[in-house]
Structure 1
Amino acid sequence: MPRLSDTMEEGVLAGWRKQVGDQVQRGEIVAEIETDKALMELEAYDDGVLEKVLVGEGETVPIGTPIALLGDGSGATAEATAPAPAAAEKPEPEPAPAVDAATDSAATPAVNGPEENGSVGTKPKASPLAKAIAREHGLELAAIAGTGPGGRIIRADIDAELAKEPQPEPQSRPQPAVEASASAPSPVADEDVEEIPLSKIRKVTAKRLTESKQQAPHFYLTSAIDVTELIEFRGNLNERLQAADGPKVSVNDLVVKACATALRANPSVNVSFAGDKLLQHKRIHLGVAVALDDGLVVPVIPDADRKSVSEIATEGREKAGRAREGKLKLDEMNGSTFSVSNLGMFGIEEFSAVINPPEAAILAVGATREEIQHRDGEFVVRKIMRVTLSADHRAVDGAVGAVFLQQLTGLLEDPIRIIA
């Protein structure tokens, strides 16, 4: 199982494109892997024949776990890695007594490779994840029938075993078995509660954002921006673009471009905190948060300051669509130096976003609302949009963030400067 993202710890083998016995060429797609961010295609590293599949479809395994064997078609690779038959039908108890090497070699057939669990044919085969869950719940692997390749015990087998009867809470030390009293009430599941397993994306989102809030001291700056001129400017721009068969530009596209322009003028915000130093990013790569049914992903628009608003609109819409289909490539979600999160389309007027590490800041954009203001001796109705900058105080000082937000406000209130 390859590491396909910087935060990936395990992957789901979503599907095999090749079957056992198929010829495989280097660079050819052999399988689909569901990572913590997207569905990725796995390319073969070498030429050969797929001799054996070690991980079935739908199975989750940690990175580094062998998932298949590639050989010359003779089957020698699969045979060399196959476990030798056990000396006895019943597995030996743990820990096994020391055995003289000569006696051991006579009693147990030789093998060319170690078992995945570290023993020589005396323990049931199980995936590392299955072993961990079994150990946590005190289950004996020898009593569980494996349904994976070659009788291997997979997570689904452990889950099925746990579903048979209520299991005790995991304990750090083994406790003596106690026979339940006949009068003791059995636990009853709450019919009003449904357990929903976390998706890969939501697991990683929860982990990364928890680490962000725990490690990065957030501070927040909010500005109320008069976007009356911006809304009118957008309407005129879209009329011109549509007349030329161009893309439709959203308010968020203009905000993204304005952020990129402000970052170019304020490079002190385009940084990352790295322990005893700051990383000053020379290029401006904007992440734009996209909400999915099972989590959040952040497609990246590289070099956003060098692109026109129409280019940002086209690229952003195309990547958001593929993000919802789970078809974004890994490099399209990595490398952002600043992010924008917009909940205005849901009517949210103001909110504070959590910084997307390793970035040092993120802008939260709210909805546009008409408000009455007093200007030049009279009351007027203006369109107001509130934005909040969340910044990592280890990397960005309050005054630096305030200057950035001040310049961003100036760009959005005088929108011709965004495209100038």
Structure 2
Amino acid sequence: MAVLIRMPEVLANVTEAAIQSWLVAEGDTVAADTPLAEIETEKAMIEFAGENAGVVAELLAPTGETIAVGEPIAILRQEGDSDADVDAVRPSGGASNAAATPEEPAPPAGAAPDSAPEPAPRDLDEAAQAPTEEAPRESGESGERLFSSPIVRRLARERGIELARVTGTGPGGRIVRRDLDAFVPAPARAAAPAAEPAPSGSAPPTGDQPGEAVPLTGMRKAIARRLTESKSTVPHFYLTADCRVDELFALRKTVNESASRKISVNDFVVKAAAQALADVPEANAIWGGDHIRRFETVDIAVAVSTEGGLLTPVVRDINALSLTAVSATIADLAERARAGRLTQSELEGGSFSISNLGMYGVDEFSAILNPPQSGILAVGAASQRPIVTDGELAVGTVMTVTLSADHRVVDGALAAQWLQAFRARIEHPFSILV
């Protein structure tokens, strides 16, 4: 029997994703576990492998279009299947068509058309796992039915868009997400009396203003949502320290003369931060809503800049790794982050983050927490500055770091203890190696 392949829930709690690229073509013979497509979610690119062997009969999902989990994306013809078997599972027709639209009974005479919005699903998972439900959301002015997925109907409600005003470009005129993204409301007709003009600068941008409208990627939307949530709901507070790093630079030079790979200043910083969390274990924690969860091992997320935005892959159990192993792990995660090859498990977890902008010449900055982590350390550039030692003026190499902490998890005194422990490690770098 032909197999209808549906958009998988490739990552936990993901309700929609997009086919970034197909790795097979129609007519290809595939074995079980053959990679079929690269699927893009908000944070990662996942290679999706099928569970069945056969011949690719039809690719149903275009690349780049956001599709709800559970919607059909391809048909696989198995040995002995006829064209009728393929037609039987094709969404556009056949007895098993989950996306077919049921006929609706005509409304009773005199009844008003049913144009009230549907109740929202209880949660996104319910919407994603439901059948495609291409029942009409509403009817256009000419009475034609408008077909759309639950995801599209939800987004239309959130954006205040009447689907009757949107032109569908999907199969059979179906309204897909890209149609909502491209929709520009027509200007409203003037009404009397005219509304008082808004103060200058308060009006939202419109399509006739100069400049380029850059569509949001899934990653950019995720960054915007999570950081807005963090900044508005997490009680941040900040502590700053200057660390003298002359000895660190000298030790790094010595290590790199004989090391199997070059060790960066950031590698030392990550290792020192992990050791400071072991020195002050109360800070190695996350916010759990109704509890604080503390950990025995230290997992730290390291910020990596990619073309699409910032990713924070997690280095696990750092204190069990040598400095060289930490360096190799960070390099591997950064390379795969920029290539879009991280898995969700590599982006989840961690009690703490490191964000280093020193290589860009930034002297000092503060970073936004990545909930539910307890802290993030913002690392600036090391530079020569005047310092006073025992009453004597001298020149030293100094690096400024700023700790952003979640006050629900870490109090000021505890954060100060952690920062003191980190500074001691950085300023006496041999302690990092032992």
TM-score interval, normalised by the smaller of the two chains: 0.7 to 0.9
Offset of residue 418 of structure 1: 0.4
Separation in structure 2 between the aligned mates of residue 95 and residue 372 of structure 1, nearest angstrom: 83
Separation in structure 2 between the aligned mates of residue 167 and residue 201 of structure 1, nearest angstrom: 29
Within the alignment, does 1:26 sit opposite 2:40 as a pair? Answer: no
Offset of residue 146 of structure 1: 3.6
Offset of residue 63 of structure 1: 2.9
Alignment match, 2:164: 140
Distance verdict in 2 for CA 1:49–1:415, change over 3 Å = same
Q: Secondary structure at the match of 1:31?
A: strand
Separation in structure 2 between the aligned mates of residue 301 and residue 6 of structure 1, nearest angstrom: 20
1:5-54 superposed Cα distances (whole Å, 9 cap, x missing partner): 45644211112223345444332211111111122111213445544433
Within the alignment, does 1:225 sit opposite 2:243 as a pair? Answer: yes
1:167 to 175, 186, 204: 186
Distance verdict in 2 for CA 1:251–1:84, change over 3 Å = closer
1:258 to 272, 276, 297: 272
Q: Secondary structure at the match of 1:4?
A: coil
1:224-243 superposed Cα distances (whole Å, 9 cap, x missing partner): 111111111111111121xx
Distance verdict in 2 for CA 1:370–1:208, change over 3 Å = same
Structure 1's consecutive aligned runs of 4 or more residues displaced over 6 angstroms after TM superposition are 91-95, 178-181
Separation in structure 1 between the aligned mates of residue 233 and residue 306 of structure 2, nearest angstrom: 26
Which range is displaced more, 71-80 or 204-213? 71-80
CA RMSD of aligned residues (A): 3.3
Offset of residue 60 of structure 1: 0.9
Partner amino acid, structure 1, of 2:134? N
Separation in structure 1 between the aligned mates of residue 58 and residue 108 of structure 2, nearest angstrom: 34
Distance verdict in 2 for CA 1:80–1:313, change over 3 Å = closer
Residues 7 and 204, structure 1, Cα contact 8 Å, conserved in 2: no
Within the alignment, does 1:355 sit opposite 2:369 as a pair? Answer: yes
Query: Map of 1:234-273 to 2, 5 A cutoff?
Result: 234-241=252-259, 246-273=260-287
Separation in structure 2 between the aligned mates of residue 47 and residue 357 of structure 1, nearest angstrom: 42
1:282-329 superposed Cα distances (whole Å, 9 cap, x missing partner): 221121101123210012211111111111112212221221121222
Q: Which runs of 5+ in 1 are unaligned?
A: 86-90, 100-113, 170-177, 182-186
Q: TM-score, normalised by structure 1?
A: 0.80
Residues 145 and 153, structure 1, Cα contact 8 Å, conserved in 2: yes
Residues 132 and 149, structure 2, Cα contact 8 Å, conserved in 1: no
Within the alignment, does 1:44 sit opposite 2:50 as a pair? Answer: yes
Q: TM-score, normalised by structure 2?
A: 0.77
1:91-127 superposed Cα distances (whole Å, 9 cap, x missing partner): 999984269xxxxxxxxxxxxxx873247xx945434
Separation in structure 2 between the aligned mates of residue 413 and residue 92 of structure 1, nearest angstrom: 71
Separation in structure 1 between the aligned mates of residue 341 and residue 263 of structure 2, nearest angstrom: 23
Q: Secondary structure at the match of 1:339?
A: strand
Aligned residues: 378
Separation in structure 1 between the aligned mates of residue 372 and residue 177 of structure 2, nearest angstrom: 33
Distance verdict in 2 for CA 1:157–1:240, change over 3 Å = same
Separation in structure 1 between the aligned mates of residue 218 and residue 405 of structure 2, nearest angstrom: 27
Within the alignment, does 1:97 sit opposite 2:107 as a pair? Answer: yes
Separation in structure 2 between the aligned mates of residue 285 and residue 309 of structure 1, nearest angstrom: 15
Within the alignment, does 1:208 sit opposite 2:226 as a pair? Answer: yes
1:143-194 superposed Cα distances (whole Å, 9 cap, x missing partner): 846444x66443345566x36xx5358xxxxxxxx7999xxxxx98445221
Within the alignment, does 1:35 sit opposite 2:49 as a pair? Answer: no
Separation in structure 2 between the aligned mates of residue 367 and residue 230 of structure 1, nearest angstrom: 14
Alignment match, 1:62: 68
Query: Map of 1:18-417 to 2, 5 A cutoff?
Result: 18-70=24-76, 72=78, 73-74=81-82, 75-76=84-85, 78-80=87-89, 82-83=91-92, 96-97=106-107, 116-118=133-135, 123=145, 125-132=147-154, 136-140=160-164, 144=167, 146-148=169-171, 152-157=174-179, 162=183, 166-167=185-186, 189-190=207-208, 192-241=210-259, 246-417=260-431
Identity value in percent: 40
Partner amino acid, structure 1, of 2:382? T
Residues 60 and 129, structure 1, Cα contact 8 Å, conserved in 2: no
Separation in structure 2 between the aligned mates of residue 23 and residue 55 of structure 1, nearest angstrom: 19
Separation in structure 1 between the aligned mates of residue 45 and residue 108 of structure 2, nearest angstrom: 47
Partner amino acid, structure 2, of 1:79? A
Which range is displaced more, 402-411 or 326-335? 326-335
Alignment match, 1:175: none
Separation in structure 1 between the aligned mates of residue 146 and residue 324 of structure 2, nearest angstrom: 59
